Structure 1
Amino acid sequence: MAPFRARRTTVVLGSTALAASLLLTACGSGSGSGSTDSAGGKVTLTVDLFGTFGFKESGLYDEYMKTHPNITIKQTDTQDEGQYWQALQTKLAGGGGLADIQGLEVGRVASVLQKQADRFTDLRTLGLGGVNDELVAWKGAAVKTADGKVLGAGTDIGPEAICFRTDLFKAAGLPTDRTELAAKWSTWQGYLDLGKQYAAKAEAGNAWTDSAAGMFTAEVGQQKVRYSDEGGKPVYDSSPAVKTAWTDATALVADGLSAKLPQWTPEWNKAFTTGKFATLSCPAWMIGYIKGQAGDGGSGKWDIAPGPGRTGNWGGSYLTIPKTAKHPKEAAELVKWLTAKEQQTVLFTKQGSFPSSTGAQAAIKDVADPYFNNAPIGRIFSESAAAMPAQVLGTDDGVIGKAFTDALGEVERTNTAPDTAWKHALDNVKKASGS
């Protein structure tokens, strides 16, 4: 997919007419059939997720239940994906407590395929063998086993940009024009340099960005090879992508540009409203998270510009159906509907979750978001996605990424020397993965 270069008429995010038309279209794509394996033909589908998928927030569950009156959807969620993953492992090991539908982050996919494929339903057996056919090619390929099983249905992907606070930029004498900022931070060094300018004039307590971990994750997300090579061999200790991102992230700390806030913590969440940081490495799904944390008071204060390198992928998810699901047939119908292009389009227009569906990508390229000063998020994230590398996924990507971001937390919050923290990261990977 080529970058979008032509000027286009802006479509306003959250427009009543647009949302209504998308939901009406979406209604027609669902199945009206339901199970009669429960009393009175009523079925309660359980969905267990992490972060903010946006299904509930965008009204998709309500829409589905209107057209499927025998279905009730109950969602549980954990904001911290690491905590969610640990709980999921406990449930998989014990064989109990799993929902009908479980979310799966892209960094965990290779591990599931190689170690736990027998715990999840092959979606082909539920009529969903082609559920990923209309997605970007690598999205579906990542959840397909060597013998052809399809273990997940793709939802969003995570093209990157930079979210920033216009009010804090103005107070520090920095420009707020997106094009000008994108030119100034076209590289990560440019991002650090502009951060130093901000720090020189910003009020005390207002840092340039939230954490070294956020910057590190965004930067390694721009490379095809990160933690494992194309043959599956772990290369995290020698990877140029990891070493460069580590050097830049520790420089961020050394220059006093980090708010030293661990992501996904209550302190981090509160900082979205208190102005503790001016910029944030911002995959598309972060849009919905910012709105949820900053609330109505943040509208117009936040904006979005293309980030360093103008590309990258941070995150992205799948929906899976465990073999212990109580209602696999109904779960499959809901999964198919939630991941269809119409619903992926709604999720972007309302929540900012960038679609993996190529049809949905074409539909959202002109979307703007009034919450973020009418930033052309469709164009910004589409261009980032167009240049996105098809990343090599290793079995322990989640473990490795966490080890490095935890080590960066040591550098920030305990003044651990970067070389010492690096060694701690390597040791923790070996302990956690056994490699």
Structure 2
Amino acid sequence: MRKLTRRPAVAALAAAFLLLAAACGSAASSGKITLSVATFGEFGYAPLFAQYQKDHPNIEIRSRVTDFDTHFKSLATQLAAGRGAADVVAVEEQYIPKYIRAKDKFVNLADYGADKLKQQWVPWKWAQGTSGDYVFGLGTDMGSLAMCYRRDLFQQAGLPTERKAVAELMPDWQGYANVAARFTEKLPNVKFADSAGTVYTAMLNQSPENYFSAKDDSYIADRNPSVRNAFQLSGGLAQAHETAGATTYTQAWNVAIKQGSFATIACPAWMLTQIKEAGGDAVSGKWDVTTVPGNSGNQGGSFLAVPKQSAHPKEAYDLAQWLTAPAQQKRLFLSDGILPSEPSVYQDPQVVAHTDPYFSNAPVGQIYAASADRLRPNYRGLHDADVRPEFGRALGRIEDGSENVEQAWADAVRMGRDAIK
């Protein structure tokens, strides 16, 4: 989940340390146990924190919220220094392999009984956060994909607008590219996709392996056909000027949504809130949601872990366990659209029946639950966070016209390899 609030890194870090100082002071003066929880962006936890504190009068919770990059840079610094980390930290899926390797820095949650909760999550989600008998973290949400599209723009382009018809029009990514060409021919001043990077990521996350081999973690970007195919198709869209070049979560992306500059975006459930915030009331009812080409794929999802430097690891675990329990995951989906990673929750009748009026009353609970059931493991590798940005930047160079698809591909493969040397 990434409800990202972009703030200057210095200000964010200063706020975090002020919160830490305030937490220590509060604990000393009140006699309560103070637990800090660090997330990248708002996870929708504020009302949950209030409820937990009400039910546990001896606990005071301090929330540290920074943007994605600041969060992980700060965590790396805090782990290296052996101090300053929150009692509970959110870790996004791309960083999980790296931090599981640094298990000496984190509490084994199995020591507090987490291993007995295994059946709570879908198997691949549980496996992501574990290594043998070691339980690194408890899963929060997952990012199973759907396709968000502008009904009004599809209608203007002479394309079908009903969800089922749109899904049938582009059952796979080549079908998506074909529709993009038809759309652009009719509406040359509107782009079909927000960015090549979004299309590329959605395609890549439908593959069991990306840049690294699941067998030995060796670099395979240059010989994995899934990477090459995703790059060529998304880069081809960019080269044909069918993407808006609006990187997700940037101000340009927000403006493009508000102005109706593009017609589609592969969207995990947590992204719906950001589309609403960017578009405002003016485009309510113009968006809709249908099945993504390829039917599934995961984009995003996090875990709650407890650093060993926590002074209250048992209490921190209890809080993390409660935040990720079925009742809280259900509450977060119904209030914030954050898709649960637990089958008992996303198959709950109330969740499945959930619709979203902003998105033309799309049955988002049903769509995302079906997508979640089709998800399969996606191996990221220890250095995914180092390599993935190089391919994103290469696609950006196609969009700005500085490289063609083949040039950008060659550079991405080389720079990706260099990033892990």
Structure 2 residue identity aligned to 1:48: A
| Residues 143, 299 of structure 2: 8 Å contact kept | yes
| Residues 236, 405 of structure 2: 8 Å contact kept | no
Partners of 2:307 and 2:383 lie apart in 1 by: 21
Structure 2 residue identity aligned to 1:64: Y
Q: Kindly indicate whether residue 212 of structure 2 is the aligned counterpart of residue 228 of structure 1.
A: yes
Q: 1:186-211, CA deviations, whole angstroms, 9 ceiling, x for partnerless residues?
A: 1111112212222223373x321111
Residue of structure 2 equivalent to 1:213: 197
- What are the within-5 Å matches in structure 2 for residues 83-232 of structure 1? 83-114=70-101, 116-146=102-132, 148-202=133-187, 204=189, 206-232=190-216
| Residues 217, 401 of structure 1: 8 Å contact kept | no
SS of residue paired to 1:310: coil
- What are the within-5 Å matches in structure 2 for residues 410-429 of structure 1? 410-429=397-416
Q: 1:381-435, CA deviations, whole angstroms, 9 ceiling, x for partnerless residues?
A: 122122222222311122222221121112212521222222322233233222x
Partners of 2:277 and 2:167 lie apart in 1 by: 26
SS of residue paired to 1:186: coil
SS of residue paired to 1:367: coil
Residue of structure 2 equivalent to 1:372: 359
Structure 1 residue identity aligned to 2:284: S
Residue of structure 2 equivalent to 1:29: none
Unmatched runs of 5 consecutive residues or more in structure 2 = 1-25
SS of residue paired to 2:242: coil
Which of 23, 37, 49 does residue 61 from structure 1 map onto? Answer: 49
Q: 1:291 to 1:96 in 2, by over 3 A?
A: farther
Q: 1:272 to 1:61 in 2, by over 3 A?
A: farther
Tell me by how many angstroms 1:216 deviates: 0.4
Paired residues, number: 393
SS of residue paired to 1:216: helix
SS of residue paired to 2:115: coil
Partners of 1:250 and 1:318 lie apart in 2 by: 32
Partners of 2:282 and 2:328 lie apart in 1 by: 28
Partners of 1:105 and 1:396 lie apart in 2 by: 14
TM-score, structure 2 as length reference: 0.87
Residue of structure 2 equivalent to 1:18: none
SS of residue paired to 2:266: strand
Q: 1:242-301, CA deviations, whole angstroms, 9 ceiling, x for partnerless residues?
A: 011001111111221111112232222333322222111111221232233334444322
SS of residue paired to 1:313: coil
Partners of 2:66 and 2:406 lie apart in 1 by: 33
Residue of structure 2 equivalent to 1:353: 338
| Residues 54, 288 of structure 1: 8 Å contact kept | no
Tell me by how many angstroms 1:113 deviates: 1.4
Tell me by how many angstroms 1:83 deviates: 4.8
Partners of 2:410 and 2:84 lie apart in 1 by: 37
SS of residue paired to 1:208: strand
Q: 1:198-229, CA deviations, whole angstroms, 9 ceiling, x for partnerless residues?
A: 2223373x321111110000001111122222
Q: 1:90-109, CA deviations, whole angstroms, 9 ceiling, x for partnerless residues?
A: 33223333222211111211
Which of 365, 368, 371 does residue 381 from structure 1 map onto? Answer: 368
Which of 52, 61, 65 does residue 73 from structure 1 map onto? Answer: 61
Q: 1:47 to 1:246 in 2, by over 3 A?
A: same
Q: Tell me whether 316-325 or 398-407 shows the greater mean CA deviation.
A: 398-407
| Residues 138, 305 of structure 2: 8 Å contact kept | yes
SS of residue paired to 2:388: helix
Q: Tell me whether 351-360 or 87-96 shows the greater mean CA deviation.
A: 87-96
Partners of 1:398 and 1:251 lie apart in 2 by: 24
Tell me by how many angstroms 1:342 deviates: 1.0
Structure 2 residue identity aligned to 1:392: Y
SS of residue paired to 2:116: coil
Q: Kindly indicate whether residue 278 of structure 2 is the aligned counterpart of residue 293 of structure 1.
A: yes
| Residues 27, 34 of structure 2: 8 Å contact kept | no
Q: 1:146-199, CA deviations, whole angstroms, 9 ceiling, x for partnerless residues?
A: 4x1211001111111111122333333332200000000111111122122222
Q: 1:425 to 1:91 in 2, by over 3 A?
A: farther
Q: Tell me whether 421-430 or 301-310 shows the greater mean CA deviation.
A: 421-430
Q: Kindly indicate whether residue 386 of structure 2 is the aligned counterpart of residue 402 of structure 1.
A: no
Partners of 2:226 and 2:343 lie apart in 1 by: 28
Unmatched runs of 5 consecutive residues or more in structure 1 = 1-35
Residue of structure 1 equivalent to 2:23: none
The percent identity for this pair of structures is 36
Q: Tell me whether 103-112 or 237-246 shows the greater mean CA deviation.
A: 103-112
Q: 1:192 to 1:121 in 2, by over 3 A?
A: same
SS of residue paired to 1:318: strand
| Residues 132, 139 of structure 1: 8 Å contact kept | no
Structure with larger RCO (C-alpha < 8 A, sep 6+)? 1
Q: Kindly indicate whether residue 324 of structure 2 is the aligned counterpart of residue 339 of structure 1.
A: yes
| Residues 152, 318 of structure 1: 8 Å contact kept | yes
Structure 2 residue identity aligned to 1:49: T
Partners of 1:75 and 1:276 lie apart in 2 by: 36
